[in-house]
Amino acid sequence: MTTPSFAGQPAEPGTLWGTVTAVQANYYSVSLDGLVSFGETLDSVADIPPTLLCTRRARLKKVGQQVMVGDRVQVEDPDWEGRRGAIAAVSQRQTQLDRPPVANANQILLVFAVAEPDLDVHQLTRFLVKAELTGLDICLCLNKCDLLEADAQATWQARLRRWGYAPVMISVKQSLGLPTLADALKNRITVVSGPSGVGKSSLINRLIPAAELRVSAVSGKLGRGRHTTRHVELFELLTGGLLADTPGFNQPDIACAPQALGECFPEIRERLQNHRCQFTDCLHRAEPGCAVSSDWERYPDYLQLLDNCVTQTQLAHDSADPEAAFKIKITDDGQIQHEPRLSPKKYRRVSRRSRKQSLEDLRYELTDSIDNLEALEEEDIDIDF
């Protein structure tokens, strides 16, 4: 297996290292590196499987060490016949994504379709901003270009270049542009993302025939795709590198500080290269001395996302206030929900330790009262009640 190099990984003779390619429940599929250093000779390990199904050592669980797809891990006690092993150590991560959970990725392949379903520029902007927030390199790919005339393709390319991106035009069905895309993925760990129904799984099946991912047609009633990928998995590219297929979703959530949103738009970054805003906390919405004008296509989308970020920031601030009537809860699909804040004194259950301590304090008070009464009786002191 050919994988990108990682800094900080031990290379002692006799150690067995690999890359986690899939995670299901408490089991991890680990694709092993070259095994020459682990056996006496290459011939003696010729029958060793390239992948082991591993569990995580108990000591890693105790220290809270999570194992993610893309992690570089050390494997101990390999059972070659049973194709099993145990993960003993996790190398330091270069990057980490939480949604989807992938470690050590250095590029995002954002796949959209120019037709069937039609390309929604507002949805594309949200995906691009979400990708920019990760800090990884972005490779924008437009599929189904065979459904457009050459002039329409050129129009889309020129339009997206004004946004700051150079899209790769491909057609999985007609095998157009795939060599160019494969060269962009070479020797990198790439996370595939994009809405459902744009051909992500079909693209991976073409790049990696062994993947055999399920594909689904676009819904004619809704005009969008159905989810076919259910979990994150890494696949090895024939040209070198790894590709991570992720579950599709149609509306990514954008959660960031309002001041950080401008860094996610290449148009704003370009305008700030030669000029600076008068105020360091400028949000680029017609403030005095702002260096960012409004003469670019995605400016209304920026203002809409900015309002959402400002609102989320304010809601998070209010939710942190213990006196607030409502608290904010973000669901798994990124939706914001308002839940009533319950009174802790009324609804919170007193811990068993606190109840026991209260009983102990009461017992001590009663014991002291009885001792005082007995002392007074011994001194023949009249007590009036």
Q: Which of these three, 61, 92, 123, is where a domain ends?
A: 92
Judge if 88 and 108 occupy the same domain.
no
Q: Which of these three, 320, 347, 366, is where a domain ends?
A: 320
Taking CA atoms, 147 is separated from 68, 269, 339, 350, in Å, by: 38, 33, 47, 65
Judge if 311 and 230 occupy the same domain.
no
Judge if 107 and 238 occupy the same domain.
yes
Q: Is residue 108 part of a domain?
A: yes
d(CA 67, CA 57) in angstroms, rounded, equals 11
Judge if 231 and 143 occupy the same domain.
yes
pLDDT of residue 24: 87
Q: Is residue 330 part of a domain?
A: no
What total number of domains does the chain contain? 3
Judge if 110 and 228 occupy the same domain.
yes
Q: Is residue 343 part of a domain?
A: no
Q: What CATH number did the domain enclosing 59 receive?
A: 2.40.50.140
pLDDT of residue 355: 75
Judge if 205 and 276 occupy the same domain.
no
Judge if 112 and 233 occupy the same domain.
yes
Determine the structural domain holding residue 295 and report its residue range. Answer: 258-320
pLDDT per residue of the chain (385 residues) written in tens, 0 to 9: 444 544 445 445 568 999 999 998 889 999 998 654 444 433 455 566 789 999 999 999 899 899 999 999 999 999 988 999 999 999 999 999 887 789 999 999 999 999 988 999 999 999 999 999 999 999 999 999 999 999 999 999 999 999 999 999 999 999 999 999 999 999 999 999 998 889 888 898 898 877 665 444 444 444 444 444 457 889 888 888 899 877 755 678 888 899 999 999 999 999 999 899 999 899 999 899 999 999 999 999 999 999 999 888 877 766 555 556 566 665 554 555 666 666 655 556 667 777 777 777 777 777 777 777 776 666 655 545 4
Q: Is residue 31 part of a domain?
A: yes
Q: Is residue 384 part of a domain?
A: no
Judge if 54 and 116 occupy the same domain.
no
Q: Is residue 252 part of a domain?
A: no
d(CA 148, CA 138) in angstroms, rounded, equals 24
Taking CA atoms, 320 is separated from 127, 250, 324, 360, in Å, by: 29, 30, 8, 35
Task: Quote the pTM value.
Answer: 0.72
Q: Is residue 60 part of a domain?
A: yes
Judge if 166 and 68 occupy the same domain.
no
